Structure 1
């Protein structure tokens, strides 16, 4: 990737019990960002006091070419809270975050940064564009895939059909966007809420790029693997969607 101006990148990694992934992920993510010519790179690991000492492993990871900062969060746990704390701590021009189990390959970070450098404010890696997809495996993978597809197709109908992957969570954002829009919610519904409000705002340029989601390398999924887990998550998703539909109706 080439650009006429320098840019800096903050890589946010929200973690809980990712000891088997975190050190390799830090190194791989930084190596891929370095290929883009970023002038400065920081890694912020926002860890919810992992029992497997993910926070300790991250703090001890020496990554040439980047600073590694660890936020060990001992209270108010949760994905969205972790992301908000890390965003508040981030110092650089472009903020990137993604799942910390290698399911969202670090090799796909440069294409996000390329689009931001082209002038977009938000770039998202999508499973549902031509060329994208999912390569899931393990218990519950087929069910998760089925529900994810159904949810995203429904959201395109209910919210904005121009966007394809409302539950991506693999994103690069100019820090200026967060002056007016803050992440809300508990778990995956935060992304639906954030993207739709960005799209409705009208001031920001948004694009999607295809990527292939991979199986996690180690550890256990935080989303769940059975119907009970999905129902519990689904209630919050439905509440978020209802609120956004109301916003759509009120604004026309």
Structure 2
């Protein structure tokens, strides 16, 4: 099927005890049908339920299973980074454990990669089990990123993808602390291709991505790969200044020619509130970028590993 000899399936998991057994059964069936030397690497991102215990049980009955348990919940981006750091195979597939992304698509990803692509990302044509509002906000985010970022992030594409060894090594070289993995996957370039599929509804459990976390991820993505918000603040300030000068000139001319008294108070309040709001918006945007710079200068580790299952290569920084 491909020139790959080894394959690792990376599965970040956070509180997925209800679904992880069903996920592994389907994944194992897929791997049984491949001729590759396959492994599964679960990364437990500080789960509070029985996710780690179930992963350990899976490792006891399936020799292909390897696992990392992070010392706390560092977030999915850090969990994926931990998995990428501990992979040494010709091909890597990143997939969530909630069964929204079907493991049965892995052979198709491998087949697409056989055409000479370094990265094959899965693009969602349909998203079952999600509200219209979530679909709308998601589509709006990807299209906004397409316009704002100098790095083209594929539309309607999550983390489900295949990468070869070269692509994995390239991503691992990017050690920034504020991580937006979809953008990093795109930023490395190389030969990338899309595979369109229909995304299923979650098999069990509840999503960990509420609107607050999604909004924060969107801000992370925009500020990681675009300075457009700063330019918007600059243009807003310029437009406000021009409007203020134009209005001031009109008031002066009106008073000079017609002798109208300058009533002042309502107009003054509108101008002050408008300019104050624009200034606070600009300060907030600048604060986002300053905060990111501050976080990078501290150079804290991206994650800590509390426990391991199976033989895993040590990343260079350990």
- The two structures share one fold, judged by TM-score above 0.5: yes
By how many angstroms is 1:117 displaced?
Answer: 2.4
Matches within 5 A, 1:151-230: 151-159=141-149, 164-165=154-155, 167-182=157-172, 189-195=180-186, 197-199=187-189, 204-224=190-210, 226=211, 228-230=212-214
1:24-48 Cα shifts (integer Å, max 9, x gaps): 212212322333422x111111002
CA pair 142-63 structure 1, distance change in 2 beyond 3 A = farther
Larger Rg: 2
1:27 counterpart = 2:11: no
Contact 1:26 1:43 in 2 (8 A): no
Deviation sequence 1:113-137 (CA, Å, 0-9, x none): 112223210000001xxxx221124
Secondary structure, aligned partner of 2:219: helix
Q: Which runs of 5+ in 2 are unaligned?
A: 231-318
Q: For 1:229 and 1:64, locate their aligned partners in 2 and report how far apart those are by CA, in whole Å.
A: 35
More deviation in 213-222 or 7-16? 213-222
Gaps of 5+ in 1: 247-252
* Partner residue in 1 for 2:273: none
Aligned position for 2:217: 233
Q: Select the residue among 107, 111, 118 that pairs with 2:108.
A: 111
Normalised by the size of structure 1, how large is the TM-score? 0.79
CA deviation map 1:3-55 (0-9, x unaligned): 4x4521101010110001112212212322333422x1111110023111211
Match of residue 66, structure 2, among 27, 44, 69: 69
1:178-204: per-residue Cα shift (whole Å, max 9, x none)?
3333365667x3212321x123xxxx2
The corresponding residue for 2:127 is 134
User: 8 Å contact 1:133–1:211 — kept in the other structure?
Assistant: yes
**TM-score when normalising by structure 2:** 0.64
